[in-house]
């Protein structure tokens, strides 16, 4: 019997620095109501969906930034999400800033079932930006200041979504730019990758020219390639619009295992896009071009594990004796 799961990217428009969590949560509950009306079974919210993208703001005392973090999930502010999930029989993905009881700080994503159980948790591994205030930047990007590198690896779990078992995996924002992250999920037979992102629509650094249209191109390129090369569906959900003067692009998409965009958001506000994902569509790629067990050659991939940065190649020397 076909395993068809109806998924939604629940894109959020901007959340201003001064806006309380309750406003974002109310907007997300509205999107869950709309998702239910459209027969959706899994709703994917963005990265850091409860607050503004606070890593653009510098706090000299890191403890001041703790107000952006959740110490409990659910909490009083986020309980309405769990109530809506139960009411509508929805599973949902939520990105948020997690502070652990032992004082850890992570950029985290969870997958929650209608009963309010957290079926999967992931902590962002690829943290872009910098740790100290950078006066050369128009806008700071302080993820390396406020978050530790994720310590949960890239887990995949076979979990019931829409009443069917689905191999689900999570990425967060910058992770989508690293093929290694997708491949670790692919090597666990992932069928549905869910990810949220907050990405500026223009290059804030003065490090070189980058045409504005490339921001969306690179985002789509990485998600489509990741889905195709690992024979998986992907739901990628933006936080979009202008937050305290910083513009984030939307363009949330749902992608199939052939790398095709099934649906794309066309606004930069709160918007729901949906798609019916026939999970058996993962089988073709997984049993032919990307039959990893038949075609991968790990013995040739040593550099991927052994090296962090790139090294200079050896200089070519002619093999002919000096004329």
**Which residues are bridge partners to 274 per DSSP?**
8
Residue 33 token pair: 């109501």
Q: Which is nearer to ligand ING, 139 or 159 (CB)?
A: 139
Active-site residues, by number, are 47, 124, 173
Q: Is the peptide bond preceding residue 74 cis, with omega within 30 degrees of 0?
A: yes
Residue 19 token pair: 């806006």
For residues 248 and 7, the answer to whether their CB atoms sit within 8 Å is: no
Q: Would you state the torsion angle of the CA atoms of residues 36, 220, 171, 173, taken in this order, to the nearest 10 degrees?
A: -100
Q: Which is nearer to ligand ING, 126 or 183 (CB)?
A: 126
Residues in the chain, total = 323
For 40-78, b/e burial (b = at least 16 CB within 10 A) is bbbbbbbbbbbbbbbbbbebeeeeebeebbbeebbeeeb
Nearest distance from C-beta of residue 123 to ligand ING, angstroms: 14
The H-assigned helical ranges of 58-178 are 79-88, 143-146
Nearest distance from C-beta of residue 322 to ligand ING, angstroms: 48
Nearest distance from C-beta of residue 180 to ligand ING, angstroms: 15
Nearest distance from C-beta of residue 194 to ligand ING, angstroms: 16
Cα–Cα dist 210/187, whole Å? 34
For the chain, how far is it from start to end, CA to CA, in angstroms? 72
Q: Which is nearer to ligand ING, 74 or 128 (CB)?
A: 128
Listed residue (273, 195, 275) closest to 236, CA to CA:
195
Nearest distance from C-beta of residue 184 to ligand ING, angstroms: 18
Q: Which is nearer to ligand ING, 224 or 274 (CB)?
A: 224
| Packing angle of the helix pair 79-88, 21-37 (nearest 10 deg) | 10
- Which residues contact ligand ING (rule: CB under 6 A)? 128, 173-174, 177, 197-200
Q: Which is nearer to ligand ING, 113 or 174 (CB)?
A: 174
**Which residues are bridge partners to 321 per DSSP?**
none
């Amino acid at each position: 019997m076909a395993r068809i799961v109806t998924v939604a990217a629940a894109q959020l428009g901007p959340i201003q620095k001064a806006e309380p969590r309750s406003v974002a949560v109310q907007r997300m509950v509205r999107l869950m109501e709309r998702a239910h009306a459209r027969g959706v079974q899994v709703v994917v919210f963005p990265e850091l969906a409860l607050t503004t993208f606070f890593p653009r703001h510098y706090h000299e005392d890191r403890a001041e930034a703790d107000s952006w973090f959740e110490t409990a999930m659910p909490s009083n502010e986020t309980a309405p999400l769990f109530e809506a999930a139960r009411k509508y029989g929805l599973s949902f993905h939520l990105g948020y800033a997690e502070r652990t009881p032992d004082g850890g700080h992570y950029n985290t994503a969870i997958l929650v079932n209608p009963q309010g159980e957290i079926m999967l948790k992931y902590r962002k591994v690829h943290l872009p930006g910098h740790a100290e205030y950078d006066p050369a930047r128009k806008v700071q990007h302080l993820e390396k200041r406020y978050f530790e590198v994720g310590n949960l690896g890239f887990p995949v779990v076979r979990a019931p979504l829409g009443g069917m078992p689905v191999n689900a995996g999570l990425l967060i924002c910058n992770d989508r730019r690293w093929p290694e992250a997708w491949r670790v999920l692919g090597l666990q037979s992932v069928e549905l990758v869910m990810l949220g992102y907050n990405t500026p629509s223009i290059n804030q650094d003065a490090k070189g020219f980058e045409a504005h249209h490339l921001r969306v191109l690179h985002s789509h390129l990485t998600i489509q390639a990741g889905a195709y090369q690992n024979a998986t569906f992907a739901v990628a959900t933006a936080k979009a619009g202008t937050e305290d003067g910083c513009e984030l692009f939307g363009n949330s998409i749902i992608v199939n295992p052939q790398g095709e965009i099934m649906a794309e958001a066309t606004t930069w506000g709160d918007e729901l896009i949906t798609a019916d994902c026939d999970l058996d569509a993962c089988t073709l790629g997984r049993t032919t071009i990307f039959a990893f067990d038949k075609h991968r050659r790990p013995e040739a991939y040593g550099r991927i594990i052994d090296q962090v940065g790139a090294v200079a190649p050896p200089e070519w020397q002619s093999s002919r004796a000096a004329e």
